Amino acid sequence: MNKIRLQSYDGTNNYLEELEGRPNEYRLVTPYNFLRGGCIGENQHFIDPSGGPMIVEDEELVCYGDKSYMVVSISSEKGIGCIITLKEKQ
């Protein structure tokens, strides 16, 4: 299973884990039970796990290993949690 380690500002081990059979969709995994989320403006969703980084739709997400992605969408699904859809940046 593909994992993308997120660049936290305090060393927290937040990462995205690819959902099997669902290309470009990842589940947010964090050691904490706290997650802030909301909208910027009318419909640009964001989530901000403890330790960061803040993940915002239609913005770049820079990860460890010098990989960067565009956040296509943020959603949630019962039994899975927060789902982030990414597109690898060229």
- For 8-58, the pLDDT digits (tens) are 889 899 999 999 999 999 999 999 988 899 999 888 999 999 999 999 999
Are 50 and 12 contacting, i.e. CB atoms less than 8 angstroms apart? yes
Q: Residue 19 — φ and ψ, nearest 5°?
A: -85, 130
- Spatial separation of the C-alpha atoms in residues 43 and 6, rounded to whole Å: 24
Q: What is the mean pLDDT of residues 59-88?
A: 91
What's the pLDDT at 81? Answer: 93
Strands 25-29 and 81-88: antiparallel
What's the pLDDT at 70? Answer: 96
Number of neighbours of residue 28 by Cβ within 10 angstroms: 20
